[in-house]
Structure 1
Amino acid sequence: MSEPTPIAQEAEQWFAGHWDPTRPLGEWWRDLADSGFAFPQWPEGFGGRSLGRRDAKAVQQARRAAGAYGPPNGVATFLVAPTLLTMGSPEQQQRYLPGIVDGTTPWCQLFSEPSAGSDMASLGTRAVRDGDEWRVDGQKVWNSGAHYADFGILIARTDPELPKHRGVTYFLIDMRQPGVDVRPLREMTGDAAFNEVFFTDARVHDDDRVGAQGDGWRVAMATLSFERDPSNAGLGDTAAFYEADLSVAVGEHARAEAAAADGFSIAMAGRAGEVFQGAMECGDSSGAVMRDRLARLAAERAVMSWSSHRGTASMKAGRQPGPEVATLKIGGAETGRQTRDIGLEALGAAGMLWGDDVPDGGLFHRYAMFTPASSIAGGSDEVLRNSIGERVLGLPREPDEAERRETPWNELRRS
């Protein structure tokens, strides 16, 4: 066995001396951020230490070995922060990243619209310049955590006379202002993690524009590349998309979180493997056919992990994420479906139930109910396959797509 690296030893000592489950959650998250062990791969001063992936993993292992609760998780940490770190201005990084790394500022994503989901570039939410501000009007939908978010990442149309991909600008918008109306959407799981959001004369200062005016599509594609890489889920092993009470003892918070996790949080916090293992222990996984399916699933997960490492290395080398992120998203959805099917088969009738009397507390059922969303959220499998065909394999676009891409947005036929 190799000797622990200096950073691993430092992390072990730090967690041994600082982890205390009776501390308030907010205090623990601040301490973790100040140490640089919250998000070790991020830059110093923003909850990290600019570590490579191997050293960052050693820090995470040291935290888990100490039984310490992880850093914040959700839209803020796996979408907003990476986007600001790669494309935000220094002022935006200084203004917004501290509240992300210590969990005091929750965020949401405001991209999809009722008539602009798979074809997101057709979005119709307008942002009109008004002095130093932009006036925003329109509707977004399928917005995770919008009901408690303080801020949102928004793409809006700023020039309707340009083709649909070119007249879009990327903003950071205050969700607490009067012009923002958030309405929850109830899912088949019984939860309401998603929302629809209406903007009526909402305001955004031009300082909160990310990138140049009209360059929002490029920035949004970078954000989606982070969303489509499954390795971005589970940065801290904490639940995603929930409103945390920072005054509660961190140990008490962790116990309540584990007991109340919905399918969305289980999937996005990277807990699918843990919940799946619980289902295997409660169910019957002894047959030869079942063992073969488990082996195949393990192999596919390993391939996914290696592909993710390649993508991360490419980004750290300063290259834009390539089309390979689409294969990661599709692969993640497929392994999710396999995980669901194998787990439900192992659990048998118990897989249809949830509640305290179910062997695994019903956690796997919640995860299984959420699984279909993984083939839709962040880009449907069908759209991503088109993207792979066109950008990777060089296949021709749909007959009228080239013309549509060059037609001004306000001349396009829309539903």
Structure 2
Amino acid sequence: MSQPTQETVRAEARAWLEANWDPDLDLKTWRAKLVESGWGMPAWPKEWHGKGLSAALAAVVDKEFRALGAIGVARSGPRMLAAATLLEHGSDFLKEKFLRRILTGEDHWCQLFSEPGSGSDLAGAMTRADFKDGQWIVNGQKVWTTSAHHAQYGFLLARTDWNVPKHQGLSYFIIEMEQPGVLVQPLRQMNGHASFNQVFFTDAVVPTEYLVANLGEGWKVATTTLMHERRAAAEGMASGPQSAKRVGKAYDQERAEFAITMEPYTWYPQRAGRPDLVIERAQATGRNTDPVVRQEIAKLLTLHRAAHWTQRRARAAQQLGRPPGPEGSLGKLVGSHVARASANVHTLINAADAMLTGDDSPMNGIIAEILVSTPAASIAGRHRRDSAQHHCRTRAGHAQGTAHRHGSAVQGRAEKYGAATRAMTGA
């Protein structure tokens, strides 16, 4: 059987979409059909709702979706982190139970990692899971949990062994959020919103089959989740098919048009740093001729171009079939830098108007929203200290292995990375 090429994949995908895509279909029906076809996630294995294509060929399929304006599967948010993690580490039971419902968007998910005392130091998690009467009993607290208030499931990092080093005592579970032992409370922010939650577990129950991978392998599994999260941040959100927010008759036209216009601003702070939007705002306010504004926009454009190159490295790595690597973390860091720089230019352009909030303020108060929320981009959703330790250890191990095989010429490099690891971890 001949290997698929870009031309054959493009032709097959377009033919299927032209025969099946109908914007009048309700979302649930369309996504069910899409999942059954395998075209929704073409890089996934055939036995798990995919086509078994390479990442490069899957990108060709995504382009066909965008060309026809077709909605894709439910890719956004924690649900896709759960899917990627289950594909790599989950049992067949877990894949069978959850993957299809993730793609159709029937279930919402949340990430239960950070705790009040272990945010950046993720491995220091104190939420505990004890095995009693044939099931796991969870007690503890998580915080900064996005989507917990409407999630049916969460992926949970909990301590199952207190007698081993902290990284080795963690296990990774799926937990049902809608049960008596789980209490979700919103966290009211200084901008008046409640984008995050704190979650309390009091004798919450987890079935034994909801353990992901083996007992004590939670750190390894969590690293997989975080690497996919960083890769998604580095690649940006524009590479996949359109989301349901942008297409479909179920949405009021006027509200949909406004949502599309404002969408780049209202997503997470990392999405706010788009120079084209800054330029448009400068032109709309007449500040585009101000030499100071022009200079700051030029700086932002330069920084954004560097971030774009990082995104391209991340996408190229994926197309080559490489697992998520350090380019994801770098992309997240530079993305947060771009977002902060963009917020500063927005406030420069809008002057006093940038401080106004409410529906009657310029751009419905979104400029003030960006100003207040963007600093959180530096730490939001990522565990930078653990990430740095992980990558230093990985590179140190690689360098030392190379030195062993090829002699002392590279021993100095191995020692350098080893020293960096010790300095960063305090070892």
The bucket for the TM-score relative to the shorter chain is 0.7 to 0.9
Separation (CA, whole Å) in 2 of partners of 1:73 and 1:183: 26
Tell me which of the two structures has the higher relative contact order, counting C-alpha pairs closer than 8 angstroms and 6 or more residues apart: 1
Separation (CA, whole Å) in 1 of partners of 2:93 and 2:258: 34
Residue 268 of structure 2 aligns to a residue whose secondary structure is helix
Separation (CA, whole Å) in 2 of partners of 1:167 and 1:105: 29
Q: Which residue of 1 aligns with 2:341?
A: 338
The one-letter amino acid of 2:106's match is T
Query: Does the C-alpha gap of structure 1 residues 130 and 170 become closer, same or farther in structure 2, counting only changes over 3 Å?
Result: same
**Aligned counterparts, 1:9-408, within 5 A:** 9-44=11-46, 46-229=48-231, 230-231=233-234, 234=237, 235-238=240-243, 249-252=249-252, 255=256, 258=259, 266-267=267-268, 272=272, 277-284=276-283, 285=288, 289-290=295-296, 292-313=298-319, 316-317=321-322, 321-353=324-356, 360-363=363-366, 365-379=368-382, 381=384, 384=387, 392=395, 393-394=417-418, 395-398=420-423, 401-402=426-427
Residue 335 of structure 2 aligns to a residue whose secondary structure is helix
What is the total number of aligned residue pairs between the two structures?
388
C-alpha displacement at 1:348, in angstroms?
A: 4.4
The one-letter amino acid of 1:301's match is A
Query: Does the C-alpha gap of structure 1 residues 47 and 347 become closer, same or farther in structure 2, counting only changes over 3 Å?
Result: farther
Query: Does the C-alpha gap of structure 1 residues 391 and 43 become closer, same or farther in structure 2, counting only changes over 3 Å?
Result: closer
Q: CA RMSD in A?
A: 3.4
Query: Does the C-alpha gap of structure 1 residues 26 and 214 become closer, same or farther in structure 2, counting only changes over 3 Å?
Result: same
C-alpha displacement at 1:271, in angstroms?
A: 5.3
Query: Does the C-alpha gap of structure 1 residues 380 and 80 become closer, same or farther in structure 2, counting only changes over 3 Å?
Result: closer
Task: Tell me the TM-score normalized by structure 2.
Answer: 0.78
C-alpha displacement at 1:78, in angstroms?
A: 3.1
Separation (CA, whole Å) in 2 of partners of 1:368 and 1:33: 40
C-alpha displacement at 1:368, in angstroms?
A: 4.5
Residue 35 of structure 2 aligns to a residue whose secondary structure is helix
Between 1:384-393 and 1:130-139, the stretch displaced more is 384-393
C-alpha displacement at 1:224, in angstroms?
A: 0.9
Identity of aligned residues (%): 35
C-alpha displacement at 1:334, in angstroms?
A: 1.9
Residue 170 of structure 1 aligns to a residue whose secondary structure is strand
Separation (CA, whole Å) in 2 of partners of 1:126 and 1:266: 33
Residue 148 of structure 2 aligns to a residue whose secondary structure is coil
C-alpha displacement at 1:304, in angstroms?
A: 1.2
Residue 147 of structure 1 aligns to a residue whose secondary structure is helix
Deviations 1:151-203 (A, max 9, x none): 00001111111111111110011111111111111123322121111111111
C-alpha displacement at 1:13, in angstroms?
A: 4.1
C-alpha displacement at 1:357, in angstroms?
A: 5.3
The one-letter amino acid of 1:32's match is L
Query: Does the C-alpha gap of structure 1 residues 278 and 398 become closer, same or farther in structure 2, counting only changes over 3 Å?
Result: closer
Query: Does the 8 A contact of 2:389 with 2:425 survive in 1?
Result: no
Separation (CA, whole Å) in 2 of partners of 1:91 and 1:276: 46
Query: Does the 8 A contact of 2:143 with 2:197 survive in 1?
Result: yes
Query: Does the C-alpha gap of structure 1 residues 27 and 311 become closer, same or farther in structure 2, counting only changes over 3 Å?
Result: same
Separation (CA, whole Å) in 1 of partners of 2:366 and 2:12: 35
Separation (CA, whole Å) in 1 of partners of 2:264 and 2:186: 17
Q: Which residue of 1 aligns with 2:411?
A: none
Separation (CA, whole Å) in 2 of partners of 1:51 and 1:104: 25
Separation (CA, whole Å) in 1 of partners of 2:266 and 2:79: 14
Separation (CA, whole Å) in 2 of partners of 1:164 and 1:331: 30
Query: Does the 8 A contact of 2:234 with 2:331 survive in 1?
Result: no
Task: Tell me the TM-score normalized by structure 1.
Answer: 0.80
C-alpha displacement at 1:147, in angstroms?
A: 0.6
Query: Does the 8 A contact of 1:33 with 1:47 survive in 2?
Result: yes
Instruction: Return the index of the structure with the highest Cα Rg.
Output: 2
The one-letter amino acid of 1:306's match is R
C-alpha displacement at 1:303, in angstroms?
A: 1.7
Query: Does the C-alpha gap of structure 1 residues 44 and 277 become closer, same or farther in structure 2, counting only changes over 3 Å?
Result: farther
* Structure 1, unpaired ranges of 5+: 241-247, 403-415
Query: Does the 8 A contact of 2:171 with 2:217 survive in 1?
Result: yes
Q: Which residue of 2 aligns with 1:410?
A: none
* Structure 2, unpaired ranges of 5+: 396-416
C-alpha displacement at 1:206, in angstroms?
A: 1.1
Separation (CA, whole Å) in 2 of partners of 1:16 and 1:271: 32
Between 1:25-34 and 1:171-180, the stretch displaced more is 25-34
Query: Does the C-alpha gap of structure 1 residues 263 and 292 become closer, same or farther in structure 2, counting only changes over 3 Å?
Result: closer
